[in-house]
DNA sequence: CTCTTGTATAAGCTGAGCTTATGCGAAGCC
DNA sequence: GGCTTCGCATAAGCTCAGCTTATACAAGAG
């Protein structure tokens, strides 16, 4: 089986051939492709010579496909249109219509979803796609224009970044839990309640131990309580009254505002880290991706 | 809708991309395509830049398609394989396996068919295709390598030619006709019989008038008798006893030898013309086409 | 630690892929 | 019939896209 590279004088001559056959004219094909008639003539002739078959009958001021040319044209036309559609989709995704944002499930659910209507109102015509994952995606490698990450920008040498929110962590409980067990008034009381622990396998997240330490206390039995490996599920459990969990302000703020979640104690742990929208240094953002980035930063 | 020519850095980069994705290696792709690894790297990078999307993750000693790259690869692979198949078929037809011979229906039926087994025995492995038509095809324009024509080579400036048979014409009848009406002994008697006239719309063929004139006689009522516009049908009618028709020696010889046709009178009209195998001056014959040509000429 | 090997990239080369200009011929028009 | 139009083929010339060779670097393997 021979490669097309050996079968053809150049792959570009296929594109030229397709246009000439469709338009029955070398001059019209040249116009469409931004070339001269002479270049089209040479390209078609090169193709005919390499394939050893006459593809066109040359008529007065016109060319007509031979029978063999007709068959070949049908196949080439089908193949190229397939490829063109795909290339256009890919380019659209990369440079236009679609913009993909890679983020955690929790960010998607609790930060972006409550703001989606606003996003649509302010940036109509941009098709935003959230790609969630249980780890921070290598968006450079994946060809995704934008991501949201927690941490410190100095750890991401290949990325630009803009801050979205500082990392502020405090306990949150659901109303039904508090109605049943009462609201803890002090850090010490809190330690006696049911605590829900987040255990993400890939992302580093602050734990209850760290929070109590930041409050100048200690948790005597760290093993007690529910353990869940997805923060979105943690929040669901809290709202259903299964216990108290640590809340990240930027994620919990909408739920707090609506009363679905209630802050517990007045101690807030500030890690010094923050959440950022990031994008690759090695590639220019499309106009739309830049707009999405700027919109995100404006929510800070 | 943008042309592929504007969407891609070069169409050739599609072929390179297809191979690299299939082989997960720029070095292996270069080997297959007869290029260096560096050229592959540049081609893929050009494609990525033009499309604005990362197609591969670069790993140690390996490349892996991104999700976007996978989708694009599937489409490119499908499109290119479609085109490759077609190009291979076309090239095979033009240069190898298939050889097409353009000829009249009569030549195909009465000259070639009786010799086909012999052809196959002597030139096994060549797929000969007879393309019949009611006129002499412009085989240069149609991209057909060989043709059979009656006439004079000086009328075909663009063709080479080799003689197959002189044009010799005499009346032939079927056995059932002769059993019923008797065998005409003289040209004058012949004139009283049922004569079948050939009226081809495009090819110039000798008529009964011409034949009688060559025999020094005249046909008093040229309108009398069956008129048929296809010589193969003329011969069928003769064999079914509908009348007597003019026979061309090179076409009728096998039928005469088997007794299906009987020569009438001993007058033979020689036009000074002949039948030739012809092929275009502007293009080299493939090996197989040359073999077919030589085989045909050897039947003379 | 050394070695292997496959990707990226710099520097340089060259001929494929055009361009401009012109010739030719088939149609159409008057 | 002569004249005009215009689209294909082809000659001559140009140039930069598409390579090549050489080298740097890094991830694995042993």
Cβ pair B264, B172 in contact under 8 A: yes
- Which nucleotides of strand C are protein-proximal, with an atom < 7 A from a CB? 5-10, 16-21, 25-27
For strand C, is any atom closer than 7 Å to the CB of A277? Answer: no
Positive or negative torsion for Cα A65, A70, A76, A78: positive
- Bridge partners of A162, per DSSP, are A277
pLDDT at B55: 92
For strand C, is any atom closer than 7 Å to the CB of B38? Answer: yes
pLDDT at A79: 93
Contact B11 A6 (CB under 8 A): no
Please name the nucleotide lying closest to A61, CA to C1'. Answer: D7
Contact A90 B72 (CB under 8 A): yes
Contact B72 A94 (CB under 8 A): no
Q: Distance, in angstroms, between B4 CA and closest chain A CA?
A: 6
Q: Distance, in angstroms, between A114 CA and closest chain B CA?
A: 28
The segment(s) of chain A belonging to CATH 3.40.190.290 are 96-300
The segment(s) of chain A belonging to CATH 1.10.10.10 are 4-95
Residue B128: φ, ψ to 5°: -90, 130
CATH number of the domain located at residue range(s) B100-164+277-298 in this protein: 3.40.190.10
Average pLDDT along chain B, 300 residues, taken 10 residues at a time: 73 93 93 91 91 89 90 93 90 74 88 88 84 77 83 84 93 92 90 87 81 85 70 87 92 89 92 91 80 90
Please, is A240 exposed, middle or buried when counting C-beta atoms within 10 Å of its C-beta (0-12, 13-18, 19+)? exposed
Report the residue from A57, A86, A91 with minimal CB separation from B52: A91
- Bridge partners of B227, per DSSP, are B197
- Torsion angle in degrees (nearest 10) through CA of A181, A183, A188, A192: 20
pLDDT at B221: 60
pLDDT at A218: 81
Please name the nucleotide lying closest to B56, CA to C1'. Answer: C7
Name residues of chain A where pLDDT drops below 70. Answer: 1-2, 95-97, 141, 220-224
- Bridge partners of B56, per DSSP, are B65
Please name the nucleotide lying closest to B63, CA to C1'. Answer: C7
Contact A83 B14 (CB under 8 A): yes
For strand C, is any atom closer than 7 Å to the CB of B62? Answer: yes
| Fold of the domain spanning A96-300 | D-Maltodextrin-Binding Protein; domain 2 (3.40.190)
Which of the 102-141 residues on chain A come under 7 Å of nucleic strand D at their beta carbon?
Answer: none
B60 CA to C4 C1' in angstroms comes to 12
Please, is B114 exposed, middle or buried when counting C-beta atoms within 10 Å of its C-beta (0-12, 13-18, 19+)? middle
For strand D, is any atom closer than 7 Å to the CB of B5? Answer: no
Closest CA to B245 of B259, B264, B260, B258: B264
Token pair 């016109």 is at which residue?
A: A62
pLDDT at B1: 42
pLDDT at B97: 64
The segment(s) of chain B belonging to CATH 3.40.190.10 are 100-164+277-298, 166-273
Which positions in chain B touch A142 (Cβ < 8 Å)? 54, 57, 66-68
Closest CA to B73 of B33, B29, B14: B14
Nearest-by-CA chain A residue for B13: A11
Contact B8 A78 (CB under 8 A): no
pLDDT at A96: 62
CB atoms within 10 A of CB A207: 16
- Which residues fall within 8 angstroms of residue A298, CB to CB, at 6 or more apart? none
- Beta-sheet pairing, A261-263 with A159-174: antiparallel
Exposure string over A78-111, b if 16+ CB within 10 A, otherwise e: bbbebbbebbbbbbebbbbebbbbbbbebbbbbb
- Beta-sheet pairing, B244-248 with B195-198: parallel
Q: What is the ipTM of this complex?
A: 0.58
For strand D, is any atom closer than 7 Å to the CB of B46? Answer: yes
Q: For domain B166-273, is the CATH number 3.40.190.10?
A: yes
B29 CA to C7 C1' in angstroms comes to 13
B181 CA to D11 C1' in angstroms comes to 71
Which positions in chain B touch A3 (Cβ < 8 Å)? 15, 19, 32-33, 84
A25 CA to C22 C1' in angstroms comes to 20
Contact A52 B15 (CB under 8 A): no
Please give the Cα distance from B104 to B113 (Å, whole number): 12
Of 1.10.10.10, 3.30.70.100, 1.10.3720.10, 2.40.110.10, which CATH number belongs to A4-95? Answer: 1.10.10.10
Q: Distance, in angstroms, between B93 CA and closest chain A CA?
A: 8
Contact A54 B6 (CB under 8 A): no
Which residue of B74, B87, B286 is the best one to mutate when testing the A interface, meaning the one whose CB has the most A CBs within 10 A? Answer: B87
Closest CA to A270 of A200, A206, A219, A174: A206
Contact A53 B4 (CB under 8 A): no
For strand D, is any atom closer than 7 Å to the CB of B59? Answer: yes
Please, is B154 exposed, middle or buried when counting C-beta atoms within 10 Å of its C-beta (0-12, 13-18, 19+)? exposed
pLDDT at A1: 43
- Bridge partners of B203, per DSSP, are none
- Torsion angle in degrees (nearest 10) through CA of A97, A103, A104, A109: -40
């Amino acid at each position: 089986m021979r490669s097309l590279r050996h079968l053809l004088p150049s792959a570009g001559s296929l594109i030229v051939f397709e246009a000439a056959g469709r338009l029955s004219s070398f001059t019209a094909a040249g116009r469409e492709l931004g070339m001269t008639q002479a270049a089209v003539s040479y390209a078609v002739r090169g193709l005919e010579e390499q394939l050893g078959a006459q593809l066109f009958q040359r008529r007065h001021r016109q060319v007509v496909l031979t029978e063999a040319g007709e068959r070949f044209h049908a196949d080439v036309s089908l193949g190229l249109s397939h490829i063109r559609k795909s290339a256009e989709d890919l380019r659209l995704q990369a440079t236009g219509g679609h913009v993909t944002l890679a983020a955690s499930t929790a960010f998607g659910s609790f930060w972006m979803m409550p703001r989606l209507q606003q996003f649509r109102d302010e940036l109509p015509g941009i098709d935003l796609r959230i790609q969630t994952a249980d780890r921070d995606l290598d968006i450079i490698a994946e060809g995704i224009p934008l991501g949201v990450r927690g941490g410190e920008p100095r750890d991401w040498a290949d990325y630009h970044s803009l801050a979205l929110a500082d990392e502020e962590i405090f306990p949150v409980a659901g109303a039904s839990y508090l109605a049943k067990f009462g609201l803890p008034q002090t850090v010490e009381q809190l330690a006696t309640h049911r605590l829900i622990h987040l255990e993400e396998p890939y992302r580093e997240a602050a734990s209850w131990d760290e929070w109590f330490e930041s409050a100048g206390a200690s948790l005597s039995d760290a093993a007690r309580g529910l353990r869940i490996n997805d923060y979105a599920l943690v929040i669901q459990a809290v709202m259903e009254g299964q216990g108290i969990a640590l809340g990240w302000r930027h994620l919990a703020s909408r739920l707090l505002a609506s009363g679905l979640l209630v802050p517990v104690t007045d101690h807030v742990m500030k890690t010094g880290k923050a959440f950022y929208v990031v994008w690759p240094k090695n590639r220019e953002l499309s106009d739309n991706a830049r707009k999405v980035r700027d919109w995100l930063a404006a929510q800070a």
